[in-house]
Amino acid sequence: MQTRIRRAAVVVAAAALLPLGLTACSDSDSKDKDKASDSASDTASKGSEEAGPSKDMDSMNEPFGSGCSSVPKDGKGSFDGMAKDPVATAASHNPALSTLVTAVKKAGLVDTLNNAQDITVFAPTNDAFGKIPKADLDKVLNDKEQLTKILTYHVVGKQLAPEDLANGSFPTLEKSKLTTSGSGESFKVNDNAEVVCGNVRTANANVYIIDTVLMPKS
How many whole angstroms separate alpha carbon 171 and alpha carbon 163?
17
pLDDT in tens, 14-56: 444 444 444 444 454 545 545 544 554 454 444 444 444 444 4
Closest C-alpha among 139, 208, 150 to residue 176: 150
Highest-scoring range by mean pLDDT, 9-18, 47-56, 72-81, 118-127: 118-127
- Return the ∠ at Cα 181 (arms to 175 and 183), rounded to 5°: 140
3-state secondary structure 133-166: CHHHHHHHHCCHHHHHHHHHCCEECCCCCHHHHC
Are 180 and 170 within 8 A, CB to CB? yes
Query: Does 122 have pLDDT greater than 50?
Result: yes
Q: For residue 217, what pLDDT band results from cuts at 50, 70 and 90?
A: confident
Q: Residue 45 is which amino acid?
A: S
Provide CATH code, domain 66-210. 2.30.180.10
For residue 76, the surrounding DSSP H or E stretch is none
**9 pLDDT exceeds 90?**
no
The yes-or-no verdict on residue 174 having pLDDT over 50 is yes
CA dist 43 and 139 (Å) reads: 67
77-117 per-position pLDDT tens digit? 999 999 999 999 999 999 999 999 999 999 999 999 999 99
Question: Domain spans of the chain?
Answer: 1-60, 66-210
Span between the terminal Cα atoms of the chain, in Å = 123
Query: What's at 57, amino acid-wise?
Result: M
The pLDDT value recorded for residue 166 is 96
